């Protein structure tokens, strides 16, 4: 009994000591919290309601068991910094300081395992620690948008926050690539990923497949995200997809699995190929923006319930409204699908008529007869869809990087004569084409081979090479034999190389001699190949070379009057053919007359209609010949669907002829002045032209004034050649915009504000859609305030730099004109104007506010 009593006393003592120890520890923890909160209070301009000595009684602070669990001081107009002492608040669950003016570095909060919500957005924090997320196993939401952090990458430590549901870092200067570990394997609960307006590069990680992300914002990256977006089709929880203003390419994926998709913004990228029709049938969809891409095929029809912006920009839809494309368009798009819808085709193939100057396509009578994709840098495989072009005569796919085998379907083309597959990576057997089809497969090392077949014995790729080790006695003899055989083989190899060079030289001479037939001219193809390809012209009785021809191929003909084929689809045609097709330049064939000469209509034997422009003998002078050559030099370089294509030209004695494609709709004058007599509809251009055109032009002028650059400056790189496009790109980033300002202008903070206002106005004036451009009245209001701000205030002289500030601009102009009219003469009004020798000197040598490098003759 006594022993039991002793045990009870001991137990009571232990319980008492434990209570004392726990109480002491609790008091110590709360005092640590109090010290941390006091440090926070000192680092800020004191928030309202923080005067009590107990932080748990402070306004916007929450506690549990005397431990701080919530700090919610967002949008309180606070200034200051966050102290590192916050790391001691081990029970903190919510830290909300958004919408203030806090600065300095974000302190490391590593080890705060209870933290669930962090809201730091819309402040002036300068850096973000890489170990911030360490130990935050319960973290659910992080918002750090709109902070001028120094460049940083999403740290590896964020893996610790595997319970994360919301990560938002818009306009936070995040750089590098989107990490692979943001996928569902590490973050199975991540619903919101907002990383817009940063400096991210690379593509969307494939690890995003199966992600539960509902809202994905990665738009507006300065460094431009790129690549394809195929992974999106497997992110079936998505409701918002914002990928606009990046550099994404390739075809759009199938969106049919995204049953809850509401908003899709893909504008300002480089997507190609047809729009996936499956997206039209997503019932939850409310808004789509596809502008400024290179999408092809039919324009999607979303119906009235969807706000769709598809009609403007650079897209290459076959029709300006939803509707079916021409069957030839559909066939060609099916063909380039096997190439991955290259951007080159998307940029050039516009409209619903492939015969209207589509690159690589030549037609006759509305039928596609030649497909020439020579040296276009395409990859992929040869599509069996080529077999659908029943009129195809020549298929040229040489000098690309095509793989796979030759489709059997190509053998069914009834008109095919020439198939060039040279210098690719094609393998397998050549299908049995008709005997009259010329098939060129040179430069395909695996042609005729099945890549699944192992290399023959003795090759480096076959371990069973047959070089079995032998005994020592035969080894020496074998070595001597190898040396002798190597010497003989080397001599024989050199002999073969010499023979090959000689044959190629003779063959080249023969090819040139065959092209140089008398009475011939060159017809240029619509689809010019690479820029370094040039043309050889052969004229009556002589040969005139322009550049040089590489790999010229001539189809033999018994009649020199027949059309012959030259490299890249050029046609050689005799002068006699031109006489025949124009009925010897008869009056009945005249289409019109001009200062250069007469234009005749003609039709070649294959049905191709042409317009032959013949120089009058009276203008065959040095000037006339110079004009002729100048027109050739310009038009042979120009290829545009809105310009008549120059097909060729001919020099034959005193004859000077240009051959154009025939335009059946007649001349502009006929539509302007004779449309009633001709039974035509009147033009409706006046109904489309508005004052908004002038507003756009004014915006361009403002851009020229700000930058000191031309609207089109061919001396600049291609990406900055067009002023409007380049200017808008520079305007997006406040850091890069000052670099766009004319270097002759001295820029400080005050002038930069005004210039930025004018720059923003210029951007609105040059909006794509007329209705988005301001009225001139609004423009005047914007500029008037700046006029008052920058109007000179020097009252020491009535006339500053020859300008009377109290006189209106029209009056000042009249004064200048009056003065210029009596240059060199004295006048009673000379006191009003400075005594000058000419008008130019009325411009000050260097106006106020311009850099010292500025001169009065400077066009800027």
Q: Which two tokens stand for residue 247?
A: 């550099």
Query: How far apart are the C-alpha atoms of 444 and 460, rounded to whole Å?
Result: 19
Helix ranges restricted to H, 666-775: 668-673, 692-707, 723-732, 749-765
Residue 200, CA distances (Å) to 159, 164, 177, 498 in order: 19, 21, 6, 55
Q: Residue 240 and residue 261: Cα distance in Å, rounded?
A: 6
Q: List beta partners, residue 858.
A: none
How far is CA 597 from each of CA 575, 644, 647, 655, 658, rounded to the nearest angstrom? Answer: 18, 17, 18, 11, 10
Residue 47: both structure tokens together: 């928030």
Number of H helices, E strands in the chain: 12, 42
Instruction: Tell me whether residue 177 is annotated as binding.
Output: no
With a CB cutoff of 8 Å and minimum separation 6, the contacts of 302 are 280, 285, 288, 308
**How many angstroms separate the Cα of 103 from the Cα of each of 77, 107, 143?**
12, 11, 16
| Cross-strand bridge partners of residue 656 | 651
Straight-line distance from the first to the last Cα atom of the chain, in angstroms, rounded to the nearest whole number: 110
Q: Give the separation between CA 729 and CA 519, rounded to whole angstroms.
A: 54
Q: Which token pair is 51?
A: 């005067």
- CA 222 to each of CA 197, 201, 229, 635, 733: distance values in angstroms, whole numbers, following the listed order: 7, 8, 18, 38, 8
- DSSP assignments along 90-126, one per residue: TT--EEE--SSEEEEEPPP-TT-TT--EEE--SSEEE
The two tokens of residue 511 are 């090819």
User: Which three-class secondary structure state does DSSP give residue 151?
Assistant: coil
Distance CA 149, CA 170 (A): 11
Which of left, alpha, beta for 460 (phi over 0: left; psi -120 to 50: alpha)?
alpha
Alpha-carbon gap, residue 379 to 419, rounded angstroms = 18
Name the strands in the sheet holding 270-274, side by side, starting at the edge strand that comes first in the sequence: 226-227, 247-250, 270-274, 294-297, 316-317
Rounded Cα distance between 708 and 850, Å, is 13
858: its two tokens: 């400077």
Name 674's Cβ contacts closer than 8 Å, sequence gap at least 6.
Answer: none
Residues in CB range of 334: below 8 A, 6 or more apart: 383, 385, 388
Asked if 190 contacts 165 with a C-beta cutoff of 8 angstroms, the reply is yes
Structure tokens at 798: 């009535």
Length of the chain: 860
Q: Beta partners for 211?
A: none
Pair 744, 708: CB distance under 8 Å: yes
Query: Exposed, middle or buried: residue 10 (CB in 10 Å: 0-12, 13-18, 19+)?
Result: exposed
Closest CA to 517 of 467, 568, 438, 572: 572
Q: Is 492 helix (H, G, I), strand (E, B) or coil?
A: helix
SS3 167: strand
> Which residue is it, tokens 């100048």?
630
8 Å CB contact between 368 and 535: no
Q: Are 95 and 116 in contact (CB under 8 A)?
A: no
Show binding-site residues for ATP.
613
Show binding-site residues.
613
């Amino acid at each position: 009994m006594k022993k039991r009593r002793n045990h009870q006393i001991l137990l009571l003592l232990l319980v008492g000591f434990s209570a004392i120890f726990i109480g002491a520890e609790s008091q110590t923890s709360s005092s640590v919290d109090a010290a941390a909160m006091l440090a926070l209070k000192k680092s800020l301009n004191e928030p309202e309601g923080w005067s009590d000595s107990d932080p748990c009684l402070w306004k916007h602070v929450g506690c549990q068991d005397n431990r701080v669990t919530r700090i919610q001081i967002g949008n309180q107009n606070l200034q200051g910094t966050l102290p590192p002492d916050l790391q001691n608040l081990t029970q903190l669950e919510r830290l909300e300081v958004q919408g203030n003016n806090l600065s300095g570095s974000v302190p490391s909060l590593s080890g705060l395992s209870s933290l669930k919500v962090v809201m730091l957005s819309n402040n002036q924090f300068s850096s973000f620690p890489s170990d911030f997320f360490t130990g935050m196993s319960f973290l659910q939401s992080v918002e750090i948008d709109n902070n001028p952090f120094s460049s940083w990458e999403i740290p590896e430590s964020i893996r610790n926050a595997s319970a994360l549901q919301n990560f938002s870092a818009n306009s936070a200067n995040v750089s590098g690539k989107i990490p692979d570990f943001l996928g569902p394997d590490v973050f199975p609960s991540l619903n919101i990923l907002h990383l817009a307006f940063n400096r991210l590069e690379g593509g969307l990680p494939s690890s995003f497949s199966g992600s539960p992300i509902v809202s994905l914002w990665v738009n507006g990256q300065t460094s431009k995200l790129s690549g394809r977006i195929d992974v999106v089709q497997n992110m079936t929880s998505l409701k918002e997809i914002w990928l606009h203003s990046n550099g994404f390419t390739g075809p759009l994926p199938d969106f049919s699995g995204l049953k809850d998709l509401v908003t899709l913004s893909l504008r300002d990228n480089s997507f190609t190929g047809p729009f996936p029709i499956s997206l039209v049938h997503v019932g939850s969809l409310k808004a789509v923006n596809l502008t400024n891409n290179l999408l092809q095929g039919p324009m999607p029809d979303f119906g009235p319930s969807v706000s769709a912006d598809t009609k403007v920009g650079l897209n290459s839809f076959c029709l300006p409204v939803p509707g079916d494309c021409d069957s030839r368009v559909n066939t060609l798009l099916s063909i380039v699908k096997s190439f991955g819808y290259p951007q080159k085709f998307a940029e050039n193939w516009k409209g619903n008529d492939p015969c209207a100057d589509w690159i690589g396509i030549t037609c006759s009578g509305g039928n596609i007869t030649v497909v020439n994709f020579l040296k276009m840098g395409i990859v992929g495989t040869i599509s069996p869809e080529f077999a659908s072009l029943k009129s195809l005569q020549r298929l040229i796919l040489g000098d690309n990087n095509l793989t796979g085998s030759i489709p059997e379907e190509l053998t069914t083309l009834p008109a095919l004569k020439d198939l060039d597959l040279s210098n690719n990576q094609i393998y397998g057997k050549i299908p049995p084409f008709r005997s009259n089809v010329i098939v060129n497969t040179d430069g395909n090392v695996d042609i005729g081979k099945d890549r699944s077949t192992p290399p023959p014995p003795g090759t480096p790729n076959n371990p069973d090479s047959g070089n079995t080790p032998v005994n020592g006695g035969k080894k020496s003899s074998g070595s001597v034999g190898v040396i002798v055989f190597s010497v003989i083989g080397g001599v024989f190899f050199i002999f073969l190389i010499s023979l090959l060079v000689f044959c190629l030289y003779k063959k080249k001479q023969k090819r040139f001699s065959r092209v140089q037939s008398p009475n011939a001219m060159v017809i240029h193809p619509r689809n010019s190949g690479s820029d370094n390809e040039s043309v050889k012209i052969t004229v009556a009785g002589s040969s005139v070379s322009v550049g040089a021809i590489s790999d010229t191929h001539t189809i033999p003909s018994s009649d020199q009057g027949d059309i012959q084929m030259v490299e890249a689809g050029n046609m050689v045609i005799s002068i006699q053919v031109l006489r025949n097709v124009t009925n010897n330049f008869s009056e009945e064939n005249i289409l019109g007359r001009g200062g250069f000469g007469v234009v005749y209509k003609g039709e070649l034997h294959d049905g191709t209609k042409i317009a032959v422009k013949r120089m009058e003998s009276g203008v065959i002078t040095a000037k006339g010949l110079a004009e002729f050559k100048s027109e050739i030099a310009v038009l042979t370089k120009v290829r545009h669907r809105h310009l008549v294509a120059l097909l060729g030209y001919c020099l034959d004695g005193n004859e000077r002829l240009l051959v154009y494609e025939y335009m059946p709709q007649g001349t502009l004058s006929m539509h302007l002045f004779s449309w009633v007599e001709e039974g035509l509809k009147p033009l409706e251009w006046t109904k489309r032209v508005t004052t908004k055109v002038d507003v756009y032009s004014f915006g361009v002028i403002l851009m020229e004034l700000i930058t000191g650059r031309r609207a089109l400056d061919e001396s600049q790189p291609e990406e900055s050649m067009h002023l409007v496009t380049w200017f808008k790109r520079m305007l997006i980033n406040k850091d890069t915009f000052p670099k766009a300002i004319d270097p002759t202008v001295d820029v400080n903070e005050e002038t930069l504000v005004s210039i930025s206002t004018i720059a923003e106005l210029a951007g609105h004036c040059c909006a794509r859609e007329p209705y988005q451009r301001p009225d001139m009245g609004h423009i005047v209001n914007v500029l008037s305030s700046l006029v008052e701000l920058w109007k000179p205030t020097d009252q020491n002289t009535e006339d500053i730099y020859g300008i009377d500030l109290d006189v209106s601009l029209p009056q000042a102009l009249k004064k200048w004109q009056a003065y210029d009219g009596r240059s060199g003469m004295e006048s009673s009004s000379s006191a009003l104007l400075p005594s000058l020798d000419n008008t130019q000197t009325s411009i000050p040598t260097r106006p106020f506010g311009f850099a010292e490098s500025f001169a009065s003759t400077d066009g800027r």
